[in-house]
Amino acid sequence: KQEVTQIPAALSVPEGENLVLNCSFTDSAIYNLQWFRQDPGKGLTSLLLIQSSQREQTSGRLNASLDKSSGRSTLYIAASQPGDSATYLCAVKTNAGKSTFGDGTTLTVKP
């Protein structure tokens, strides 16, 4: 059974800092990995989707990497802003077609 872990559960940084969020998974036979952002009381907004054949994806200040062999993905946020404060979740889709979600990392960016 796929297990997805996101550590740390919470992170607080000053504005302007570059930061990395981590997502680890146990089964490397994956289709893709998707990073989401969730604001309090809101739904999930897709940030980046990395296919199993890809190493990274970029969107603006966000860069997500994937290393299947080590079962890890990272989400890099450059020049963090208070508006980046949210919970970030990763979802791993295995070859069986099902997805497993991590519990998320709650990010607070202080002005």
Q: Residues in the site for another protein, rule: CB under 8 A?
A: 31-32, 34, 36, 41-46, 49, 51, 89, 91, 93, 97-99, 101-104
Q: Which is nearer to another protein, 67 or 103 (CB)?
A: 103
Q: Which is nearer to another protein, 45 or 70 (CB)?
A: 45
- DSSP letter string over 31-99? EEEEEEEE-TTS-EEEEEEEETT-SEEEETTEEEEEETTTTEEEEEE-S--GGG-EEEEEEEEETTS-E
Q: Which is nearer to another protein, 26 or 81 (CB)?
A: 26
- State in angstroms the smallest separation of the CB of 28 from another protein: 15
Q: What whole-number distance in Å separates Cα of residue 80 and Cα of residue 111?
A: 10
- State in angstroms the smallest separation of the CB of 41 from another protein: 8
